[in-house]
Structure 1
Amino acid sequence: MFRILVDTPNREQRQIRCLHNECGIGRGDANLVMLQGWSIGQQHALIRRLADGLHIEQLEGRAALNLNGKRVNGLQGPLQDSDRIEIGDYRLQVIDEAPPAPAPAVHAAQAAAAAMPSPAHSPPPPAPPSPPDTGQQLAHPGELPADMTSYRASVHKALVKQMDLRRVDVRGMDDETLRSTTIKLIDDVMSREFSDLPKSINPRRLAKEVLDEAIGLGPLEDLLDDPTVTEIMVNAHDMIFIERGGQIVKSAVNFTDDRAVLSAIERIVTPLGRRIDESSPLVDARLKDGSRVNAVIPPVALRGPSISIRKFPKHKLVGEDLVRFGSLSPAMLQFLIMAVRERKNIVVIGGTGSGKTTLLNILSNFIPDTDRVVTIEDAAELKLVQPNLVALEARPPNMEGKGHISIRDLVKNALRMRPDRIVVGECRGGEALDMLQAMNTGHEGSLTTAHANSPREAISRIEVMVMMAGMELPMTVVREQISSAVDLIVHQKRFPCGSRKVAHISEITGMESGTIQLQDIFAFQTRASAGADGKVVGEFRATGAVPEFYEELANRGVAVDMGIFRNPENGP
């Protein structure tokens, strides 16, 4: 018997107990330790007990198997408790709990249940189980169709019945106790009522899915563990779509029914102090790793509960990552770093899913550590590293309709907190007026995002949001506020192929004849034909215009590189 500790970036550590002398590691359902990712093989590695202890070897897969930083070639061991195993982004540690001995006979479900990954967050206890149905016995496996979803529903029903018959107080258990108790109950149910499953049903996989749906996020657990999946969209319990590599495809997994989807939503929002019910059918929330969650339930959602999860990157992105991904050029990155450090007010714009928040997060990390920063968001996503930082999050109303704290309330309060800079996750309404006033009253270098399809449309969008504040301001006054407050507009665009690029960096130069004047500093110029892989093809180019603050820096003797604005077509 031995334990395997698995660390995944931005996820809680999970423990897996192997009761046999061998343990498979890989992407396939037959493995006790299931890892996700395109570089992980179906049976990537194997841990095997020999006479002198535990050994490990790599069987297939592209990701290298490293032991204490050195690549494993062939069978290697015996493993020590202090050894560190690396497979792609995963870190494993093997703890030997018993000397070599014949493996005891155990139910497949018990081994599978021990191998379950930890939930994406600390879930609240499940709802109280329904009363037992004493008049109807659960169907024998031979009477059910050989379908994983049907078996999952049947095992889950039997699990709830056992919890009720044994009077299990799930609300009084901590997460670890609840998990271990549920594993034992699943094993007991499967051994008594589902001992002769069809060959087409993998007992380990079935036990895993039942456990995930009982105390976790169900089929979303595997998708959250997959580093190649960037977005998860649950349209209905049997209709789950994912975004992988910028392309949206239908996933093969699904929930058992609408009730299972609703249970997953409740496990997400309850720890955050938020609620979702018929009187409040919309909710914004987040997972522990910062991933953004939006949920909608009936009567608003006509096809059943819906979930949208935008996963937070497992690795913290920096400016050089954007250059490597082809999202902007080195000259554009250099310019944005200088703009943030020189306290220019910047608005990041773009459509839904274009990467506005990711870019805002990267820009925010260019703020010097000496500045006091206040961040304001609906659901906290920004991960700033400055030591003098205050993070604020809006709060929805409670069941009595009281206690609502809006983004606008937080912006007003932030002005009393002595901030050097204010970072607002997104302006959607009247808070835009308060943001402009903050930018105009000594909080230079503030950042925010807004939905717009071009820098010119962003001006109109900000005008509309200011009018939503309910102030009867003349349009001329609103435009003067915008032209004096906002210095730069950065347009992030998502192309049909899934590529995300900074399409424009524009400077607001003032007003003329009642119109706000814009000039592009950098722009992405697309070519007529796409590449062989279908991706957009184009070039990042400077327009030749030099922003005013760069000229001021040069006049003050600050060493700045004017060459980044040179347009080869226009000459030096």
Structure 2
Amino acid sequence: MSPADPTLAALVEEVRRRLAAEPGALTPHRVADALRAAGRPVGDATVLAVYEGLRREVVGAGPLQPLLTLAGVTDVLVNGPGPVRIDRGQGLEESAVALGTEEECRRLAQRLVASGGRRLDDAAPWADVRLPDGTRCHAVLAPIAQPGTAISLRVPRRGGFSLPELRAAGALTDAGHELLVRIVAARRAFLVSGGTGSGKTTLLAALLGVVDPAERIVVVEDAAELRPGHPQVVGLEARPANLEGAGAVVLRDLVRQALRMRPDRLVVGEVRDAAVVDLLAALNTGHEGGCGTLHANSAADVPARVEALALTAGLGRAAAHSQLASAIDLVLHVVRDRGSGRRRLGEIAVLARDPDGWARTETAASFATDGRLVEGPGSSRLLALLDQVAS
């Protein structure tokens, strides 16, 4: 029987109801007894198929587990009943795994979220958790999610990529690789910007891997995703409130704690809230080489994005732009090519001020899809920033 076979699905549901009435370990023997009690066939193949169907629901990510271990998979997506989709870096594709009913999708979502220490029900219909193996899980229950319960799994790459590996994969050109190494060595403060799934965290982790081994890196994240290949990394991870609404640890508090931990490099895994104010303040008080990631459509949009986040902390527009222009030297913008789905470094921009004092970016170098390096108006300023390291 195939896992998507409706007959098998009916048998699994029948056995599940009977086993739930009498608590005990899940064993093939108990499955066979439940099938007999229901007047169903009890052949060895049927018993094992039903047993495996039930076991998949309680082990790891259930029926999604085989997809999480496929080589190159970065995302596993459930859009209600039907085929599960995966992303292996070339855009979304249907997998051979399918979920049969909305009840099955809901049950899987609730179990995954529970394994991450959160609750998912009609009173709390969405949740974002990190699973025990490091996988990031986001789930939204139907009917809020249509056409059914939605589950999004972001799979961490074991060991991460190094800069040479990103170059070999086409994410960096030779010129881009050389510039990035010089940026890290120059201890320049930077933000990696880009859209969701564009590879911001992957690039940041690779950059941290070439930091001097003698330097201490303190990483602050909402959910631990950065895994840089560096011998001196200390991670601080935010924590949501418990079921009683207490015990939350927010990113902004962790940034403040990180400053007391003697960081040579302060890293905020993803700047998404008022913590941007504390990061900018830290980088304006002598903490060189700090960095983080930021959602933005382009490098040119970064100042507006930082301004909006700073406003949530009560920092006015003029102060936000002043802090940004003096704290951040560069923006590394990553893109995802349409069609091929390839993630790559698209642009390096420098921060500057316009005549009115507002922060803006100037393109220093952009990288065409064919690998050509195109110098921009900020190229001389970029070279000046990199040349200052040796002095």
Q: TM-score range by the shorter chain?
A: 0.7 to 0.9
Alignment of 1:99-498 (within 5 A): 148-162=5-19, 164-165=21-22, 167-168=23-24, 181-186=26-31, 189=34, 193-195=40-42, 207-298=51-142, 300-471=144-315, 473=316, 475-497=317-339, 498=341
Deviation at 1:381, TM superposition (A): 0.8
Task: Give CA-to-partner distance per residue, 1:244-270, whole Å, 9 cap, x none.
Answer: 342212334222433333332333333
The amino acid that maps onto 1:324 is A
Distance 1:387 1:551 in 2: 27
The number of aligned residues is: 385
The amino acid that maps onto 1:547 is L
Distance 1:160 1:518 in 2: 61
Whether the 8 Å CA contact 1:345–1:445 is kept in 2: the answer is yes
Correspondent of 1:539 among 372, 384, 387 = 372
Distance 2:364 2:48 in 1: 57
Whether the 8 Å CA contact 1:484–1:510 is kept in 2: the answer is no
Worse-superposed segment, 413-422 or 338-347: 413-422
Distance 1:434 1:470 in 2: 12
The amino acid that maps onto 2:295 is H
Correspondent of 1:503 among 340, 346, 355 = 346
Select the structure with the greater relative contact order (CA < 8 A; seq sep ≥ 6).
2
Worse-superposed segment, 376-385 or 284-293: 284-293
SS at match of 1:462: helix
Deviation at 1:184, TM superposition (A): 4.2
Distance 1:344 1:553 in 2: 9
Whether the 8 Å CA contact 1:504–1:522 is kept in 2: the answer is yes
Distance 2:153 2:310 in 1: 30
In terms of Rg, which structure is larger? 1
Whether the 8 Å CA contact 1:507–1:520 is kept in 2: the answer is yes
CA RMSD of aligned residues (A): 2.8
Q: What runs of 5+ residues in structure 2 fail to find an aligned partner?
A: none
The amino acid that maps onto 1:274 is R
Task: Give CA-to-partner distance per residue, 1:66-94, whole Å, 9 cap, x none.
Answer: xxxxxxxxxxxxxxxxxxxxxxxxxxxxx
Relative distance call for 1:211 and 1:235 in structure 2 (3 A) is same
Deviation at 1:503, TM superposition (A): 0.6
Deviation at 1:288, TM superposition (A): 3.8
Task: Give CA-to-partner distance per residue, 1:112-138, whole Å, 9 cap, x none.
Answer: xxxxxxxxxxxxxxxxxxxxxxxxxxx
Task: Give CA-to-partner distance per residue, 1:428-486, whole Å, 9 cap, x none.
Answer: 12111111111111221111111112111111111111111123x2x332211111100
Deviation at 1:370, TM superposition (A): 2.2
The amino acid that maps onto 1:540 is L
User: TM-score, normalization: structure 1?
Assistant: 0.62
Structure-1 residue corresponding to 2:385: 549
Relative distance call for 1:397 and 1:227 in structure 2 (3 A) is same
Deviation at 1:369, TM superposition (A): 2.6
Higher helix share: 2
Distance 1:334 1:372 in 2: 23
Q: What runs of 5+ residues in structure 1 fail to find an aligned partner?
A: 1-28, 31-145, 169-177, 527-536, 557-572
Deviation at 1:155, TM superposition (A): 2.5
Task: Give CA-to-partner distance per residue, 1:130-170, whole Å, 9 cap, x none.
Answer: xxxxxxxxxxxxxxxx97133223234314413533x41xx
